[in-house]
Amino acid sequence: MSDVRHVLVLPDRDAAEEVARALGERFGAAEEPRLVRDALAGEDDAEDAQWLVVVEDPEARMDAEALDAFVADWDGWREAP
């Protein structure tokens, strides 16, 4: 089975940090999720940035629909592969 990487997009750093912490509890993430700041194209202001939570799922155990519902609680979404 090929490695799966889930990219969750959040509106701010606080939400991204909360999601990263909660992922392990809710989904049993094997590895620590990575937080990545994603500046919107053409924007220099730090306020105009999204935060990505990147989580590796080598055994493809995380259900995509459950992740969608989970991240929606923080006004976020899962990037479709």
Number of domains in the chain: 1
Beta bridge mates, 78:
8
Residue 2 has pLDDT above 90, yes or no: no
**Could you say which DSSP state residue 48 is in?**
S
Tell me which residue range forms the domain holding 36: 5-78
| pLDDT (tens digit per residue) in 13-44 | 999 999 999 998 898 877 889 999 987 655 55
Confidence class for position 80, pLDDT limits 50, 70, 90? confident
Nearest to 28 by CA among 58, 65, 73, 68: 58
Chain mean position to CA 39? 15
Question: According to the model, what pLDDT value does residue 40 have?
Answer: 63
Would you state the pLDDT for residue 49? 81
Q: What is the mean pLDDT of residues 47-71?
A: 89
Q: What residues have CB less than 8 Å from 57, skipping those under 6 apart?
A: 3, 4, 5, 6, 29, 30
